[in-house]
Amino acid sequence: MQPQENSNAGQSWWAWLWYQRRVWLLLPLLVAFPLFFIGGPEWVAPRFYRELWSQGHMVFFAVLSLWLASVVSMHSPRRWLILSVAVLVVGVIIEGIQSQIGRTASWEDVVRNLIGTWLGLFWSLPADRRVWVGRLLASVLLLWQLSGLASHAVTHYHRIQQFPVLSNFESGHDVKAWSGQVERVTDPVREGSYSLAVHLSTKRFSGIGSYTLHRDWRGYDELVFDLYNPGDETLPINLRINDRQHEKDRPRYADRYNRRLDVQPGWNEYRISLEDVRSAPESRDMNMAEIQQFQLFVHNLEQPRTVYLDHLRLE
């Protein structure tokens, strides 16, 4: 009877471990679920931080799949389909709620939910041909997500490494920081080998902007940059600088730094006093540790124009 008793004891031990697995997988799910609606970086945070946080969708649903596999048999392809549809519906509902409470809804997060679900599901099941197909699909999608995250990480690291240069366009990573009709060119150039061509249209407002420059401007006296006007006439361009608080509150013209630049033909160097930037808001000081946006734009051009930006830096 001794061997039988040992066998029963062993089975009880494994049953206890399996039960504990259910408990320890459920606890982090309960803790993490509220994070879909509270916490996390805001939309004004650096892109890398927001992308890194978003990968939590995959982690959560991978753990959820592992927990479900410990509670319910998931060997049937029919149940794989039911789980995938359920996760898709839940993901859409979550994103819908987020859009109503001031958070940013994203279809990419719905896709991440499915990727995490398939990772946890297929890698928890005993391997056969169908399971291996699922594992391969989930792994390829995971690598796709991680490659995008790696690209943002490299860009973020580049931005930190070149500071106090904000953008000199010697690297393609600098171009990624700018919105608008832009391209990196080799002529004309004020410093290095490249500058940024800015194509201005006849729309009401046309120009470039960046939300992703290095944000802490404390300890410096001037913002310096060069603009090249290839035309024969002076081109007025508006400069706007604001901090993070301006983006979070109701944006007002008097709550940011505004200046008109009369760009003469040829190269023009501009030196902007950071003390003037700090004191620009009407009723407060600008937070120089949280500079959020730099913009150059024109208003109601009569015909398209192009200017060139180079060597944006702090001194």
pLDDT digits (tens, 9 = 90+) for 34-64: 777 776 766 666 677 778 878 888 988 998 8
Q: Same domain, yes or no, for 282 and 306?
A: yes
Q: Same domain, yes or no, for 136 and 217?
A: no
Q: Same domain, yes or no, for 154 and 9?
A: yes
Q: Same domain, yes or no, for 170 and 154?
A: no
Q: Same domain, yes or no, for 140 and 205?
A: no
The 3-state DSSP class for residue 232 equals coil
Q: Same domain, yes or no, for 66 and 134?
A: yes
The structural domain count of the chain equals 2
Confidence category of residue 20, pLDDT binned at 50, 70, 90: low
Looking at residue 274, its amino acid is L
pLDDT of 15? 56
Last residue of a domain, one of 135, 159, 183: 159
pLDDT of 36? 75
Q: Same domain, yes or no, for 294 and 211?
A: yes
Q: Same domain, yes or no, for 102 and 238?
A: no
Last residue of a domain, one of 122, 140, 159: 159
Confidence category of residue 227, pLDDT binned at 50, 70, 90: very high
The answer for residues whose C-beta is within 8 angstroms of residue 111's C-beta and 6 or more apart is 141
Q: Same domain, yes or no, for 187 and 153?
A: no
Last residue of a domain, one of 134, 159, 184: 159
Give strand ranges (E) for 97-180: 165-167
Q: Same domain, yes or no, for 116 and 141?
A: yes
Mean pLDDT of the chain: 85
Contact 310, 277 (CB under 8 A): no
Task: List the CATH number of the domain containing 216.
Answer: 2.60.120.260
* Of 214, 295, 286, 179, residue with least CA distance to 243: 286
Contact 286, 273 (CB under 8 A): no
Confidence category of residue 133, pLDDT binned at 50, 70, 90: very high
Q: Same domain, yes or no, for 185 and 150?
A: no
pLDDT at position 13 over 60: no
Q: Same domain, yes or no, for 174 and 136?
A: no
> Residue 271: which domain range?
165-314
Instruction: Say what the pTM is.
Output: 0.72
Neighbours of 177 (CB within 10 A): 24
